[in-house]
Amino acid sequence: MNAVPDRDLALYRRLWRYVRPYYGAWAIALVGFLLFASGQPMLAVALKYFVDGLTDPQLARVTLPWGESVNLLPWIPLILVAVALWQGIGTFLGQYGMAKVAAGVVHDLRRDLFAHLLTLPIAYFRDHDSGRTISRLTHDVTMTTTAVTDAVRVLVREGLTVLALLLYLLWSNWRLTLALLIVLPLIALVVRHTQKRLRQAARALQEAVGELTGLATETVRAISDLRAFGAETRIQERFAAANDAEEARQQRLARIAARQTAFTQLLTFTAMGVVLWLVLQLRGDATVGELVAYVSAAGLLPKPLRQLSEVGSRFARGLAGAESAFQLLDTPPEPETGHYAPPHSAPPPAAASTVSPPPPSPPTRAPPALLPTRSPQPRFSTGTHPTRPHPP
């Protein structure tokens, strides 16, 4: 087996581990897809009884399991509404279940990436662009949902729809259906041929987006330095080159996917033309309603087959994002070579003593401020009047 499919399978298995905690939501989505797929043949059967009832009312009568015969022609409009409601319930369950799985996978993977990011050595952040690292944590993780949810949703829902329609076609007219089945191996060859090119284009696009994000992040962080040194023109030229590269890789991926879809559609409608020609040749005793129902059921096949042919590009995008995220997870953390000693705890408080503390000493009074002293007054004898001193 080729090394690329083996590596993709191992990568997808690793990514699928993040889906395991959400098997309940995934099972709900699967039930919804079954409901939606089973409604497609119901439309063809209702159309058969409607057309046959217009030509001959007896052909629209069916016998119920308890033996009662019922004419389905008046009930066809209500049956179509019931089928639409049936498929609507299936669509709701399928989309809600897959959305829950997608949100859970992104949450868990981003949590593990951030936790591992804190253990990386300083040399990693010095040698790797910070913008590319941030892009892995935000953009690349989100891209993984196309592999675990979007691609699986298309693969399961449209695959079950194709299976249900093919079973009805085989039951209705197996000879015409065998001619239609010839085109399926050709479609498989086209998908296998373009799968490798889609993966390479998706990986190149992932790198271009990371480079663009890194350049923008570094520019925002160092905007003061850029203006101080007058490097606005140079950084603008670098950003324009990275932006043009991202656009070119985006267009290349779209070209490969569109070429595959167009070729698949061409093969499908070629097979439809062969079926219509065989209907004219092998009509036999089939009623008009049976032929119209068969052609209508066969006409419902191109749309799910076209979407199935696009699953390869969805898987390629998702696996490219998962590969980028797992590269960060596989980076060895910084080795723990030191020893951690917890800080010494504060000494425990002293035990309370039973002896009462001595009474507090009375507060000492501040010495009085020294007042200016006056010279002693002279004493006079009796009968004389002292002269009053002048006030100071």
Q: Round to whole Å and give the CA distance between 361 and 208.
A: 82
Are 155 and 311 in contact, with CB atoms under 8 Å apart? yes
pLDDT score, position 370: 46
Q: Which long-range contacts (CB under 8 A, 24 or more apart) does 261-264 make?
A: 261/306, 261/309, 261/310, 263/190, 264/187, 264/190, 264/191, 264/305, 264/306, 264/309
Enumerate residue ranges in the chain where pLDDT < 70: 1-6, 179-180, 183-184, 186-200, 203, 206, 282-284, 337-392
pLDDT score, position 198: 66
Which residues does 390 contact at the CB level (< 8 Å), separation at least 6?
none
pLDDT score, position 14: 86
Name the DSSP letter for residue 338. Answer: S
Q: What is the 3-state secondary structure (H, E, C) of 125-150?
A: HHHCCHHHHHHHHHHHHHHCHHHHHH
| Tokens standing for residue 211 | 């480079």
Are 157 and 95 in contact, with CB atoms under 8 Å apart? no
What is the SS3 assignment for 69? strand
Which residues does 211 contact at the CB level (< 8 Å), separation at least 6?
129, 132, 242, 245, 246
| Tokens standing for residue 72 | 């389905």
Q: How far is CA 127 from CA 181, 205, 266, 294, in A?
A: 55, 22, 49, 63
What is the SS3 assignment for 230? coil
Model pLDDT for residues 279-297, shown as the tens digit of each residue = 777 666 777 888 888 888 8
pTM over the 0.75 mark: no
Question: H/E element holding 392?
Answer: none
pLDDT score, position 359: 58
Name the DSSP letter for residue 67. Answer: S
pLDDT score, position 141: 86
DSSP-assigned letters across all residues of 341-363:
-PPPPPPPPPPPPSSPPPPPPPP
| Tokens standing for residue 24 | 């309940």
CA 209 to chain centre: 17
pLDDT score, position 384: 47
pLDDT score, position 245: 81
Q: How far is CA 166 from CA 37, 87, 163, 279, 295, in A?
A: 11, 18, 5, 16, 12
